[in-house]
A and B are shown apart, each in its own frame.
Chain A
């Protein structure tokens, strides 16, 4: 098994609301990402995926955020690093790309300047022409046909798909070991989506990069990931290798998510196969947070937050009644 790059243990992220109140957006999640592996982090919108990834990068505002738990990257405890040490890691060892590629680039800065910024920050002592050569190389890597021209462009002169390629080029320009991609294809057309996903697989293959792919779309996961983590309302509810997850989902939430993926050749009976929506952070149900929406809920479900337990090889689930779910399904 490949080395573990990122190990998150019991990560809890709270935001200040009002003077003294704290609300919990991520409630103790633990997972790992290994080198050369694409791990999917899925869940409906609002269940804490972005907050988790930004907590790993420590990109939340210090003033209203409290992060506890442990984030270990190659033996370094990220939550304990000083800010300048963390800056050495960001963009250099761990990079990130985001959902809206157009707005994720600075609108008044040329692409070359934005790339140069990242490259020369983490590679001091490179000459101007060396930096330029690396900019060109970075754009070539992500399949941009005319790098010299694109480098001179401003973001508004490029399409969404091109901007996302540029973002990936920028993220990969310092050859990070881990790439966190937060909904990288959500804002793009379907054909462009497929290209960007293929590009991420190619990068993983060529550079052995570990990738944490965040998405609300299980379809994306099925195509790209080797392992999947399912999140609901700030908790991990299930984790399994991708084939196992689709063949043998253990958590009613996962099951609902899978059923709501439209597939070719299969008529979708009801698209939103889970009624209701993610609970508000300030009004979390007690016990299992999914219980109010769960078709299989019992009175015991509201008593205690179920723990994530091993239910098979590499397969964890946070529903003690999974066996029933499987029988009925």
Chain B
């Protein structure tokens, strides 16, 4: 098992390199003059050229890339010209907020999604099933920004129970993580339901019942354990959507996290920040995927020693 994890971690390194090249090219090939952006709208042509030289933007792409990537290895993520600070300083307070928000969203949505799916599967075709799937359809079809605004309207404006935005205390996380996780919750509810229905009809479940196991044991120790393979796979596939969701939701709830920073930086064409953020989100995606893969291998003996 340890060997498998090590292999997976090592395989992330070349992938990260490829991603960093793509991100770098993407930022440097899009139209728009970074030097002019930094120098300011009123700068003369001479001043812009001076800035370009100072930033190294007059160099060919390859040396620029090498300089950037070496900097990252030394903890230098670049400079935010809009804020006149290093990117690392911008990240420091925002990173924990986004990570915390992501963890909250994943946790509640996975738990609730699974519970709804299992309950629906056990009560297939009856009221609880219909109710669960109604919630799932709502969760899939409502866009997260709209859901966020509605939640804010109901719980913050009308009922005055929760803050409309910002993060004074933990209550500030409730509505954003609800809005962020709703989609995953809904997809997981549906996947769990169909996977559980399939597995509950399998021969080994009949064997488990024939052994005399109580139904709760049959459902959890056999059917659900097998379904968790599907659940992990689908959760991993939803991580991209979740990260994209954090960008939207942080903006709606004016949360000072990395997602919000991305939106602001795009507005100011703060290229080095955008570049570092995209690299970070790619990294986050890979790490969560790695965790999913390891869990998958832990549960499914048929892949472990490949």
Contacts and interface: CB of A to CB of B under 8 A. Distances in A.
Binding partners A and B: yes
Interface of A: 57, 59, 83-84, 87-92, 95-96, 98, 100, 103-110, 117-118, 121-122, 154, 156, 167, 170
8 contacts: A59-B209, A90-B210, A104-B206, A104-B207, A106-B225, A117-B211, A117-B213, A170-B211
Contact of A104 (B204, B215, B221, B226): B204
Interface residues of B, number: 22
A51 B242 CA distance: 47
B210 A108 contact: no
B225 A91 contact: no
B39 interface: no
B210 A91 contact: yes
B212 interface: yes
Interface in B186-236: 202-204, 206-215, 221-222, 225-226, 229
Among A88, A92, A98, the most chain B Cβ lie within 10 Å of the Cβ of A98
Among B207, B208, B222, the most chain A Cβ lie within 10 Å of the Cβ of B207
Contact of A98 (B203, B211, B225): B203
Contact of A108 (B206, B207, B213, B300): B300
A103 B214 contact: no
Given A88-B212, A91-B212, A105 B207 contact: yes
Nearest 4 CB-CB pairs, A to B?
Answer: A90-B212, A91-B212, A91-B211, A103-B203
Contacts of B214: 84, 87
A133 B138 CA distance: 53
B3 interface: no
Interface in B35-88: none
Given A108-B229, A108-B300, A118 B206 contact: no
B301 interface: yes
B149 interface: no
B7 interface: no
A107 B209 contact: no
Nearest to B201: A61
Contact of A167 (B207, B209, B229, B299): B207
A108 B226 CA distance: 7
B222 A96 contact: no
A109 B199 CA distance: 14
Interface in B158-209: 202-204, 206-209
Given A100-B203, A154-B301, A121 B213 contact: yes
A59 B201 CA distance: 12
Contacts of B215: 83
Contacts of A88: 212
Among A59, A84, A87, the most chain B Cβ lie within 10 Å of the Cβ of A87
B225 A108 contact: yes
A103 B204 contact: yes
Among B203, B221, B225, the most chain A Cβ lie within 10 Å of the Cβ of B203
A110 B300 CA distance: 11
B210 A121 contact: no
Contacts of A105: 204, 207
Nearest to A59: B209
Given A108-B225, A108-B226, A118-B211, A154 B204 contact: no
